[in-house]
């Protein structure tokens, strides 16, 4: 795998860490759509997304600036991976890198998973990654967390039997929240990894920071049962 030379693609846009609170809510709960709200997508013609015209087998939900997304695509060139991101500036930049590097099995989509995944077929996905999400630590902001029972119901629907949901965070209270929500949902087997030896995937920017600074990372592998 030849890594991307990111110096060729300077990120010049100003990107906000937090976007409008409405963007984290499903459209059914909003009285009006703000201009910044990601588009609603009901279906996708995959021939316009991936060079082999096939649907994705991997989802990266909350792909950020796409380091993991792009690295996964290069490491597994025969597997289509779709990234979902709520910030349009990041999506535009990722797709400019994809175009510049002619990566045919990868795409970033400007979309909020709060509106489910209607463009993904049942039992079609092998792996879903939800890595280092925004913690939204204040209780009044918990409703902005994408990880909830509706999210798990939708990921369970699109994963094939035996498909896996991968979670990672460096925050113990987010890890505890993930475990509590998963156990309440009850339709995934849960494997808490003690180290990275059984996590054979590229690192994210956040994970690189954690590894460099000896910050503990909590990893879960959840298999559809």
Structural tokens at position 158 = 């699109």
Catalytic residue among 35, 92, 126, 134: 134
Q: Is the distance from CB of 155 to CB of 215 less than 8 angstroms?
A: no
Residues 6+ apart with CB under 8 A from 78: 105
The CA-based angle 112-61-71, given to 5 degrees, is 135
The answer to whether residue 134 is catalytic is: yes
3-state secondary structure of 208: helix
Q: Strand order of the sheet with strand 58-61? A: 106-110, 81-85, 58-61, 125-131, 159-169, 218-224, 188-193
Which residues are known to be catalytic?
134
């Amino acid at each position: 795998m030849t890594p991307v030379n990111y110096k060729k693609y300077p990120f010049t846009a100003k990107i906000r860490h937090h976007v409008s609170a409405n963007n984290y809510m499903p459209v059914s709960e909003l009285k009006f759509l703000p201009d910044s709200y990601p588009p609603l997508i009901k279906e996708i013609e995959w021939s316009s997304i991936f060079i082999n015209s096939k649907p994705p087998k991997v989802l990266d939900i909350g792909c950020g600036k796409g380091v993991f997304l792009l690295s996964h695509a290069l490491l597994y060139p025969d597997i289509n991976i779709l990234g979902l991101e709520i910030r349009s500036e990041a999506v535009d930049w990722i797709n400019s890198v994809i175009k510049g590097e002619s990566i045919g099995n990868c795409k970033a989509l400007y979309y909020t998973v709060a509106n489910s995944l209607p463009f993904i077929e049942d039992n079609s996905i092998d792996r879903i990654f939800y890595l280092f999400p925004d913690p939204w630590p204040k209780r009044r902001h918990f409703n902005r967390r994408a990880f909830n029972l509706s999210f798990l119901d939708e990921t369970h629907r699109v994963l094939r039997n035996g498909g896996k949901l991968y979670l990672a965070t460096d925050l113990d209270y987010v890890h505890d929240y993930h475990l509590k929500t998963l156990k309440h949902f009850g339709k995934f087997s849960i494997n808490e990894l003690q180290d990275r030896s059984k996590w054979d995937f590229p690192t994210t920017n956040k994970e690189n920071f954690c590894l460099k600074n000896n910050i503990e990372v909590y990893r879960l592998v959840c298999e559809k049962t």
